Structures are given as structure tokens and as C-alpha cells.
A and B are shown apart, each in its own frame.
Chain A
């Protein structure tokens, strides 16, 4: 707010800025915002007279009009090719260290496929969490927040777990050092185990002894898994948290992702929490956020591989995936499967099913797409094919 006021004030005192703004005011609706800003900055920096400035702005406007897309342009095909073609050049190597050395993140072609597939969970979910002013400058406090997030189960702090056949009870030996490091007390563990309601819980030195009510070997086996997996602390799904110093602040990187739960943790900056799990973003923050996430993730993959792809192509794909308000997969279960044309669907995958369904529903294919028209042998409605106006020649001799 204060910034804005200062700006208008500066404008009042600066005739040059007023002049530039006046010049540009006629183009506000015509040119994209980024271009206007760029022009304003560049014109301001240079010593030019009004005539020169006017000419520059006019020329820029002309150049912009020249750069516009033409109606009928096969924007979709170009986007698909532009994203698909570099795929052949990408590495298949799944893992790479992205920023944090200790964390593996899927990158390259597998990650790109994951994004267009709109998978529920990525193969390597990860979050980047920034902390609020109180916690971000101190390692101690950052670690404190981290311990609130990192999920600790019995298996993380137990040295061993054995089943005593004689007394038919589990003996869990807790690694005191680790437990202390994670800030977990023995009693706390015992109480958590009690809440499982599987039997009697006792503390004996460093050991916790559970005597289950059941003795059937099958159930004991399953019980063991349940005990090991018992959450003592932290957030479901977050396997590990790393505290990393970036610049002068501490940032948390996680292995595993759970956006809705992390947002409620004290000490984080909820405006600066990021996850690479797109469907989670869609659920918690809405479809527009998911669209941005798709663009960001896909573009990052391409960029990281050193592949130069125009942002507009990625944006189009993201828009297509999200334009219905839900994330749709690029493929049989999403965009391609929901096409209105029977022939287009049949030509893609699961041919017979689509044809049979179309027959029983009495569907009509209006032949508006590309594949359908190729199939029946007509010109496709793209590019020069969208023109439906023809000239009527006078008949010869008439």
C-alpha cells in the first residue's frame, strides 16, 4: 500500500513518467501487461523525446499484432508435439538430487508421464516447507517444527521387537538414544500402545511388554505389523524431514506429502508450503492451484533436463487437464475417453467397447474432430480446413 502511494507521488513529481504513462494508456487493453511494464521501464531509462517514444510504442504494438496466433491454428497438436518430441531426448534415470542431496526425487521422462497421467500420488512425493518468522532463523526451532511433522512409528525407535512364546507377549526394546533425539518418552509410547487396545502393556526398564489377548499365530503376525506401524508422533505419510539452510533461513524438505495436515502445523508459513503431489493441491487449494502446479512441475522437468519448451505449450496442456474443474488424465481415463466423437475414441484405445456402447445409445458422431474426418476421408477442421466459405464461379458461358 505504502509502496503504491509512493509511486503515484513519484509520478506527480516526474513529468517523464507521466508522459510515458499517457503514451501507454491507449495500449493498456491492446498489449499484454508484461509488455506494458517492460516498455515503461525501458522507456524511462532512456533519454528519448516524445516523438521517439511514440514511435517505439507504435512499433511494439505492430510487432505484437504480427506475433499473434492465427485463427484455426492447431494449437493443441503443436503443444503435444512440442512437449512430446523432447521426450525422446530425456534421460530415463529416475532419480536425481534436486536441490537437496539427501532426497531422491523422480525426474525426467517418468515424472513427466506421471504428471500427464494425473496420478493420485507421485512415486516420490515431497514437500518444501518454509517456516514463519519465529522459527525460520534458528536451527533449534526449525528442528522443533520438523519433529512435529515427521512421522515417528514404533519401528523408528525400536531396537528390536520379539515375540515371547512362553509368556505369549511382545517385547519391544526401545532405542533410548533415538527416542530421546526424537523427543519421545517411554510412557508416551506405552500409552499409545494401550490405545491400540490389543492387550496388557507394561514397562520394564527399556522394554515395553505387550501381552495380547489373542494367541492365534495368524493374528499375532498381523498384530506385529500393526504395532510396528503405530504412529506416535507427526503427520501421516511424512516419512522423513530434513532441515536445510537456504540463504539465511531454514527450510524443511520432506519425504512424503500431506498438504492438509502440514498446513495446520504450528510454526510453518502456510503461504509458502509446496508439495509435488498435484491431486493433493487440487483437493486442498482448488483447481486453479492445481493448474499452476501442473505448469510448474511439468515445466521444471523439461527445464531441468535442459530442454527448451515454450511455456504456452505446457500451459495449454495444464488448461486442458483442469478445464472441467477436476484433474483429468491425458489418456483413456481422462481427456481422450471423454471425447464426444465415437470414432475418435474407438481409434484411440478400447475400440470395441466404444463402438458397442455407441450402438446401444444410438450415438451420433458429428464428425467435428480430426480423427473422425481422417477416417471418413474428408478434410480436417484445422488450419486451412476451418474455412467453410467458397467462391461461386459463374458457369462457363454464362
Chain B
């Protein structure tokens, strides 16, 4: 962007009160009639829908500015109030101000020396700590309210009582006197500008008497548009309704005053006017009933329009609607790159990018124009250099249009393969929730994404929808490409490790492929490598006789850089006491030397998503994000192809245990039951020893829970011993692909104790959980221990307890999301303005320093090595050679 096309920018916004003069000056009409339209539906002059207030109907010209609907900004009118009323929002400020000033001369009730001191202090604060001025003003007002006698005119001062929302009394010795708004206004008028400044008011922007209204501005009709229902009945906006009320009372008050009505009636009407004005500003003012619509619904007046989540600020100002976006269901596509997103043709034909015609692309653009809006690589609009738009939907003969375009025209062409778009899934909890992808236009109606980007988006395919946005300017596209592209986000700034990586079947596939026993024929190996996009030579086979065979490790090695060295322990590691390293019987010790996988299997620890210090992490960190992307795109396809060809399935009979194992489990569980019974017996005999800081009952509970938990664990252990090594569920649990050994134990051995609120199940009937048990039964079965496994089927009682535990889990999730959501909103709001400055300090917007050096060492966590600034070992290896450490 050059200096020449920088749009005007707003430098600051000043807040203040409108003075009556200003309200009158900006007003185009003095509203005096409460009616809006006459019988013919024509707006009444000097009514609330006066045509001078701006136009809301299409095709009409504004009577004030002459513009049509989109252009006319709307114009204010005003209502001359017959008697002044207090602005309800400033009622408190008015009260505090009244307390602090003399009723007679309007000076602040401060002795001369105090006054001078505060003036000086205020001036000092103004220059150095403007934030503190309000605090000082509050202090001054409090101090001033204490004085009984005015030091200037010597008059006695009376205490002022404030009754919410807008009533003031003065406590005279002979009784309380109500202060009329006109009297209040008169007093406020007497405050000098200098005094007002001491009271925290800015006399230029907000004279104190302006807090008592004499003129009410009437917002333009475009702010409160009336809607015409299908039946032709006009329905007015809530604000209009309120304004009608105000005008009606105002007129009545005026008539009564003119007619010389008794003081009482006038005061009643005056108070009514105050009520209407109060509810006009805020219909949720405490202490008064909210004004209601005919249907009984409370009106949505000014304050309500601004407030809260659906209010103007959070809904319209902080969050904005955009064009060039799309939303649809997502589905997986393991064949596209992680950088890509599959876009349905239908969507691609609606989303456009403006492209300026130059001599290099003119032929291509002409072709696009010719294709028009309905054929995919086409265009929807042409913008001529004079700004006129040509809609390509209507002209029959697009060929002539295509021929007529010249260099300098802008074509709004369909998005096509390779364009950069932003892709997003709510809730957008971190920056990886919006990433830039390259477009891949595909048939069918869903957005397609590579499975490796599921973790950062937290997406699955059970009906999730995602949004897509098309950046329209060159700058936006460049930023998206450089900063937001998926591959640039592989390393999370949360912990400095890869957040993307293999999940589920990728891991199972990698494990099975790299297992020692996997041997592949020439045909199989070639097939796998081709599907992974490998176009180099096949390495020499690992086994030459009787048939040429390749190991899976060989194939994977083809995708590592030649100088890649790494060792780690895989997820399947059994945590033996003495690690045998390369000789590991489970092949869990991963060694990669010079880009060759020498030993060990690849599983969650080495390629999984969210695994710091994994193979994937090293690849991305040491060889760059391009390398990371290529590895994920190619090698991961290899894993999937292998699992495709080999197959991985679990079935009911796989969760079958031999009789012997079942017997063992039964014994373990029975033993636990006996132990529990024993505990209960000891407890009943009163011999149970109390744990420190617990009651006897609590002690018993903890002991029983411990016992039962142990039993479940033992049962699970027995089960996993007896399961075959080829068991698919076991494979997935061990490699970290999906599920855990506990899930497996639930299926085959014993589901175990169900809990609600961290305790055994104790609720239900009096002294018992269900009528099937004797009152006071403390046994395992009666308090939610499920002996059965899922495979063995739960009996009805067990099923019920299981449902209780399950329900708690669901409630927990529901409550948690709202709580953590609010915490995140607060965190973001408090921290969003903080940035790193050029000098390396971390500062807030006002320039105040929060940290002298970011994170104490100035290192960006996203660029760090799992939190560490530099991986020294890696560098030593690089300089000296591998295998030193």
C-alpha cells in the first residue's frame, strides 16, 4: 500500500454530553405530535416519523439531505420538554455534585486552603496520571459534602437525600423538601467551570446542568424503523413507542401549565414525564416498573440496545458480518494435502476474488468472463475502471463483453485451485482455529479436509460445520500465506511442539507397517510407495532369498532426510526395569540414523498429534515447515495405504476371554467383595481405625473404594494378559491410536465402581440406593460396583448405576464449557492489547511496561524447542557429528 491510498483514519473519539443548544442546532424538526402516520399511511409533519428525519423506504429521497436509503445517514429531531427532567443515567452524579456544592452560590464546599491544594493536585494528576483524576474527584466530592456552612457565602448547608432513581430531598430542620429538577438545574448552573473540573466533570464537554434535560433529542427514523407486516399493519419500534409516550405526557403537561392547573396536577404529570424519560433511557432501572409493550413484553430501550451479548457493542461493533464467506458440513479426505481444503464446486462458483486485468492474464480473464457465473472457472462480475459493475448473470452474449475488456478492468473471478482462503471452526479458542488453506475445488457438497488438521480445529465428522473466508486484497492474501498457512501452524505456541500429526488409523497403520514382522513383496512395496507419491528408486531388499522382501521400516525411511538422526522410546514401551535399548523385545526403542529407521516402531510418541519431542517435531523444527508438510502428506499416506490393504477391525469375539481367565477375574472380584464385607463388619463392630482428619464413615468409604478400585485394576491386568497379541483393540490401546487399556478392561473384564461426585453412589431411597437392597447395606453391589463387563452384559441394577455415573459426566461437560468459556473471554479481554515492542519489552497500550523481556528470556514459545530456547544437544550433534551424546 502506498501513502496515497491510505484511507482517512480516526485518531481518537471524544465523549461528552450534548448541550440543549447543540441538540437544537443538530435537530431538523421540533417534534410536537405524538401521532406517526395519517390514515393514508403518510408520515405526519412534526410527528415521530417526519420525513425530514431521514428516509427508510427504498426509492424515497430524504427531505433533508436528498439522499436515498443507503446514503442518507438519518437526521435528529428534538422535543422541547415543558419542564426539565433529570437524565436518569446521571442521577447519581447529580446527587454527588449537589452534595458537594453550596445551594446558594454554587461553589464547592471546601475551605480556601483545601481548595487550592486540590486544584494543584488535580493539575498534577492531569499531567501525569490522568487515570487518577476520577478517584481524586470522588474524594473531593466526599470531602465537600461534610461542610455545614459555605465558606464563600456563609449560608447554612442542608443534607441532601437521594432516592433512586430520580428523586432528591433536602433535609431542612422543619422537614424534607423535595427538590424539583428545575431547582437542581438552577443550582448546577451556578457551578463555575473551574469547580466543575474539580468535581471530575469536563466543563467543555459536559457542563453539570446538561445532566438535567430541557430538550430531548429524537433519534432518526433509521434508528427505529417501523416494520410493515404482511397484513399491512404497521408495527412501530420500541423506541418510537416510548417517544410517543414522552410526547403525549409532555403535551399534556404543557397544556396544564398554560391552563394554570393546580400545582398538584402539574407535579404528577411532571413525575410521569420523568418516568417516561427514565424508561426511555434504561428500561431496567431498579426501583421502577419497566415500561411494557401491549403484549406485556418489556420494551427494549436505549440501554438495552447497547448492553450484553446481543447488544450493539458485543454483537455489532466487536463482531461484524462479512461477505465472501461460506459454511457447510465437513468431511475427511486423506488424499488432499494438509495445506488444502476441498471446496464444493457450488461454493466455488459463488465465492470470488477480484483480479485486475494486466497484459499477462488478459487472455485467461477473457476466458473466465466467457465462462460466466455458471461454469466453474468463471467470473461473476466485471468492474470497469470508472467503477461501474457489470453483472455477468444477465447478458446472453458474454463473448462480446469478454472481447471488450481491457487492461485495468477488474474481474471478480471464481476461486480456483491454489487460491488462499481462511478456514475456521468454532469455538475459535486459539489461533490454530483459523488457518489458511489452499483451495482444491472438488465435486460434492462438503468441505473436505486432511485428517491431520483435525486436532487444531478440534473437528470430527459427526456433522461438524466449518466456515471459509476468501481474502480479497493482495495484502490479506500475502499475510494469510506467510503467517496463517496450515504448515506454519504445525508447532503450537502453547507448548512449542507439534499440535498436528497422526491420529487414530494413521498411528495403527504406522505401527503395523514398521513392526518387525512386516515383510512386503516387490509388488506390495511398490504399490505402497506409489500411493504415497514416492517416485525414487526402490531400496535394495532386506531379504533376498527365497523371495525379495522389504521391511516396512525400509519404506518409511525413504521419507526421512538423509542426515536425520533421532532416538526415543515408543508409546508401546513396557517400561521394563532395565532398558535394553536397540535390543528391546517389543521393538519399542526407536532409532533413526542417517535417515534410516534402524529399530523401533513408529506410533503415537513418534508421529502422534500433540506430542512434543517426537520424530515429527524434530523434522519440522530442524528441517522447516515444508519438510513437515511433505512428511505428513507423503509418509502418512503410506501408513493409510498399508492399513487399507491389511485391514484393521474389532469384533465381538475378539473381546472373548478363555475360561481360565474369566475364572481368575471372578476370584479377584469375589475376594474384593469379601474384603469389603470384612471391612463393613469391622466397622459395625466399631473396631475400624479412623484415618486422621476423617470421620469413621468416610474412612470406611475410602477403604472400600480403594479395595474395589484395586480389584478392577487386577481384573484388567488379568484380561490384558490373556488377550491375544493380535487383538486389534489391544493394538490400538498400546500404540495410542484410540482407547486405553482401561476401556478394554471395561469391555472384557469388569466395569468397576460407578461414582457420582467422587463418591460411591449413595443417593436414591432412604438409607439405600434402590429398593432391591436392605436399608443400610454398605456392600459393593448396593453402591454402584459393576461386576459385569460390557461384553457380559450389565444387569438392570448395574445398568442403572452406570447411567447415573454417565449422566454426571454429561452434566459436567455442559457446565465446564460455559465456565471455561467465560474465563477465556476474560483472559482475552484483559490481555489482548499486550504486545512485544521493538525494544523487546512487553507493554500495554498506554505504554506501561509489563515485562522488561518477554518471558524472561525473550524467546517465542512457538519458536522454542518445547519451551527451551535452544536445543544444545542438537547443535553439538550437528557440529561434532551424531552419536556423541
Query: Hey, which bits of chain A sit against chain B, CB under 8 A?
Result: 32, 34-35, 38-39, 42, 46, 48, 52, 55-56, 59-60, 63-64, 66-88, 90-93, 95, 101-103, 109-110, 112-113, 116, 240, 242, 255, 308-313, 315-317, 319-320, 323, 330-331, 334-336, 338-344, 346-348, 351-352, 355-372, 374-378, 381-384, 386, 390-393, 395
Contact = CB atoms under 8 A, between A and B. Distances in A.
A66 B863 contact: yes
Interface string B315-332: 001101000000000000
B575 interface: no
B650 interface: no
Contact of B861 (A84, A102, A313, A366): A313
B202 A361 contact: yes
B828 A362 contact: no
Interface string B847-885: 011110011111111111101011111011011100011
A374 B320 CA distance: 9
A365 B11 CA distance: 9
A78 B834 CA distance: 10
A155 B39 CA distance: 81
A323 B832 CA distance: 16
A338 B848 CA distance: 13
A310 B320 CA distance: 32
Nearest to B200: A361
A155 B298 CA distance: 53
Contacts of B25: none
Interface stretch (B145-153, B708-716, B811-819): B811-819
A91 B812 contact: yes
B14 A362 contact: yes
Contact of A84 (B823, B879, B885): B823
B2 interface: yes
B835 A360 contact: no
A332 to B, nearest CB: 8
Contacts of B1: 390
B383 interface: no
Nearest to B698: A102
B837 interface: yes
B855 A316 contact: yes
B830 A331 contact: yes
B204 interface: yes
Interface in B186-201: 200-201
A145 B474 CA distance: 72
Contacts of A377: 320
Closest 9 CB pairs of A and B: A362-B202, A76-B834, A362-B205, A84-B824, A312-B855, A87-B820, A76-B831, A80-B827, A310-B861
A308 B497 contact: yes
Contacts of B848: 323
Contacts of A77: 431, 828, 831-832, 834
A344 B93 CA distance: 22
B12 A70 contact: no
A46 B880 contact: yes
Contacts of B858: 32, 68-69
Interface in B692-722: 692-694, 702
B389 to A, nearest CB: 23
Contact of A76 (B833, B857, B864): B833
A84 B830 CA distance: 12
Contacts of A75: 834-836, 842, 854
B13 A343 contact: yes
B620 to A, nearest CB: 14
B10 A378 contact: yes
A28 to B, nearest CB: 14
A367 B869 contact: no
B493 interface: yes
Interface stretch (B160-168, B303-311, B535-543, B670-678): B303-311
Contact of A366 (B12, B202, B812, B832): B12
B834 A84 contact: no
B9 interface: yes
Nearest to B824: A84
Given A63-B870, A77-B832, A316 B819 contact: no
Contacts of B821: 88
B693 A319 contact: no
A70 to B, nearest CB: 7
Contacts of B201: 360-362
B831 A320 contact: yes
Contact of B89 (A74, A331, A343, A356): A356
A11 B845 CA distance: 48
B832 A311 contact: no
B830 A330 contact: yes
B726 interface: no
Contact of B860 (A32, A60, A68): A68
B851 A316 contact: yes
Contact of B493 (A78, A368, A369, A371): A78
Contact of A74 (B311, B318, B835, B851): B835
A311 B4 CA distance: 44
A320 B856 CA distance: 14
Contacts of B4: 392-393, 395
A251 B211 CA distance: 63
B282 A368 contact: no
Contacts of A308: 494-495, 497, 610, 612
B684 to A, nearest CB: 23
Contact of A42 (B13, B211, B876): B876
A386 B839 CA distance: 14
A340 B816 contact: no
B869 A309 contact: no
A370 B832 contact: yes
A309 B14 contact: no
